[in-house]
Structure 1
C-alpha cells in the first residue's frame, strides 16, 4: 500500500477573521510615529509636536495597497472607475514607562491598541538633539523592553481577571462539560501568564483552534501580529548601516521570534511623500535607495493573511480584500450581502490568463473561464464574476 499522504496542519491565526482589518502604529513618544503616519497615508496632521502625548486620540486613515496586478488590469480594461485595495492605519499616542499602571495616557491608549488587529512598532535609531527622547537618550533595545513590559503587564492583568472568572466555575467540581472546559481554560491561562512573565509574545506561539477561540476572547495586546519598523536617519538608511541593528535583531529573535524587522527612514519617506511620483523616483535613483513604504504595507497584509481578488469590467476595476481560505459566497458577501445570500456560482479567471488574452471573450474561447460553486476557496489574484439570484451579479 502506498504511504499515507501527510497533511500539514495550517497554523490557526489569532484575531478576528474579518477583511477590513486595522493596523495600529505603536511606540514610545517622539520616535517618529506621527511622521510615519503622515508619510504612509499622505494625510498631514500639521507639524508633529516635539513632546510626549502629541497624539491623544488615534488618527485613522486608509492606505492604498501597492499592486502591480491592479495597475495592469486597469491598463487592460480601461475602466471608467478604478478602486484599489486599502489597509486602515491608526496613529496611536506614544507609550511610556508605567502605562500599564495608568501612567501618562496609559489606559486610554492601551485600549486603542486593543481595538486594532495588528501593530507597527516604531523603534527610534537616530540621534537628533532637536528631537527629545522621553528616556533621555537613544537606546532602541531599552525602548523595545519598555513596550514589551508594559503590554505584557497589561496582558497579565487581563489574564488574571479571565482566570478568576474561569476558576470560580472550575471549583464547583463535578463532571459537567462546563466545569471541564473551565479547568482547561485555567490551565491555558496559566501557560499564557508564564509565557508573558518570560517576556514572550502570545502571537509568536502555536495554538490549537480551541485555544485560539479562548485567547481571542481575552483580546490580548501581545496576541496581535507585529512588524518592527526601525527608524533610521536618512544617511544610515541609504548606506544600510546602523550600530543598533544587530542588537535589535538579537532582541526580536529572542522575544518575538519570526516577526519581521524593516529598516526605514521616516525623514526620507516624509520628504518623498511631498513629491510627485516622477520626482520621487528620480530622487531615489540619485541617492541609490528604494522606498520602504510599499514593503511595509504589503508585509502587514501578509501578516494578517489577507489576499486579493478582482472584479473587472468597462465600468470599474476593483481590488477586494479577503482572508486567505475564504470561500466564494463569503467573498461575494464582501461586495454585497445579497450576493452571498443568493449566491449561485462564481465565474473565475486566473490573473495570468487575463493578462495573456487581454479580452474576456478570448479567455472564454480558450476555455479559461472556470465555473465554481459554493465550496470553491478563492485564490489570490482571481478575477471573478459572481452570479446570484434575483438578477444580482
Structure 2
C-alpha cells in the first residue's frame, strides 16, 4: 500500500486571530512617524510638528494595498465597482526613555501598542538642526535600544502580574487537571520573564503550539511582528548610503533576528504622495529613486501572514484579505456571516490561469475551474465564487 499522505499542520501564529489586523507606527518622539502616517495614508489626520508628543491620541486610517493582480482583473472585467484591499495603520504617540515607568505618555502610549497586531518601528537617521531629537543627537542604535527596552520592561510587568494570577490557582494544591495545567503555564511564564530580563523579544523565539496559545492570551508587546523603517534624508535615500545603516543592521541581527529593515525618506515620500500613475512614475525616473511605500505594505501583509482572494464579475471586482491557512467556509464568512453558515462549495479559478487565458469562459473550457468543499484551504490569488444554501451566494 502507498504511504499515507502527510498533512502538514498549520503553524499557530503569535498574536490575535482574524483577518482585520492593524499595524501601529511606533518609535521615539520626532523621528517622522506622523509625517510617515500622513504620506502613507494620504489622510493627513496626524499632527506633524517639531516638538515631542504632537500626537497624543492615536490616529487610524486605511491604506490601499498595492496589487497588480487586482488592477489586471479590473482591466479584464471592466466592472461597475472596484474595491481594493486595505491595510489599517495606526499612528501612535512618540515614546521616551522611561515610558514603562510612566515617563512621557507612558502607560497610555504602551496601551495603544497593545491594541495593534504588528509594528512599523521608525528610527531616525537624518541630521536636521531644525528638528529636535529628544535624546539630543542622532544615534539610531541607541534609539532602537530605548524602544526595545521600554517594551520589554512593560512586558516583564505584564508577565509578573499574569504569574501572580496563575500562582493563586497552583497554591490550592491537589492533582486536578486545572492545577496541573496552571503549573505548566507558570513554568512557561517564568521562562518568558527570564528571556525578557535577558534582553530578548518574545516574537523571535521558537514556541510550541500550546505555549503560543498562552502567550497570545498575555498580549505581550514584544510578541508582535516588527518591521524596522529607517528614515533617511532625501539625499541619502537616493544615493543609498548612510553612515548609520551598518549599525542598525547589526542591532537588528542581534536583537530582532530575521526581521526586515526598509530604508525610506519621509521628506521624499511627502513630495511623492500627491502623485499617481504616470506622473508618479515620471517623477521617480527623474530623481532616480522609487517610493518605499509599496514594499512597506506588501512586506507587512506577509509578516502578518495575510493573503488575498478575489471575487470578480461585471458588477464588481474586489480583493479580500484573509489569514494564510483559512478554509473556504471561513473565507466566505469574510464576505458575509451567512455565507459561512450556509456554505455548500466554492468554485475556484487560479489567477495565473485567467491571466494566461484572458477569459473566464476559456478557463472553464480548459477544465481549470475547480469545485472545492469545506476542507479546502484558500490559496493566495484564488478567484472564487461561493455557493450557499437558501439562495445565498
Q: TM-score, normalised by structure 1?
A: 0.97
Aligned to 1:75: 75
5+ unaligned residues in a row in structure 1: which ranges?
A: none
* Contact in 1 for aligned 2:349/2:384 (Cα 8 Å): yes
Shift of 1:2: 9.2
Aligned to 2:209: 209
Aligned to 1:350: 350
Aligned pairs, how many?
A: 393
Aligned to 1:102: 102
Give SS of 1:50's match.
Answer: coil
* Contact in 2 for aligned 1:12/1:207 (Cα 8 Å): no
Give structure 1 regions of 4+ aligned residues with deviation exceeding 3 angstroms.
1-11
How do 1:145-294 and structure 2 match up within 5 A?
145-294=145-294
How do 1:61-72 and structure 2 match up within 5 A?
61-72=61-72
**Distance of aligned partners of 1:32 and 1:198 in 2 relative to their CA distance in 1, 3 Å threshold:** same
Shift of 1:169: 1.2
Alpha-carbon displacement from aligned partner over 1:8-56 (angstroms, at most 9, x marks no partner): 7654310112101000000000000000001110111376111111111
**Does the alignment pair 1:384 with 2:392?**
no
Give SS of 1:229's match.
Answer: strand
5+ unaligned residues in a row in structure 2: which ranges?
A: none
Alpha-carbon displacement from aligned partner over 1:70-107 (angstroms, at most 9, x marks no partner): 00000000001000000000000000111111111111
**Distance between the aligned counterparts of 1:132 and 1:264, measured in 2?**
20
Q: TM-score, normalised by structure 2?
A: 0.97
**Distance between the aligned counterparts of 1:230 and 1:272, measured in 2?**
18
Alpha-carbon displacement from aligned partner over 1:119-170 (angstroms, at most 9, x marks no partner): 0000000000000000110001110111011100000000000111111211
Shift of 1:329: 0.3
* Contact in 1 for aligned 2:46/2:91 (Cα 8 Å): no
**Distance between the aligned counterparts of 2:42 and 2:182, measured in 1?**
48
RMSD: 1.6
Alpha-carbon displacement from aligned partner over 1:330-367 (angstroms, at most 9, x marks no partner): 00000000100000100000101112222222221211
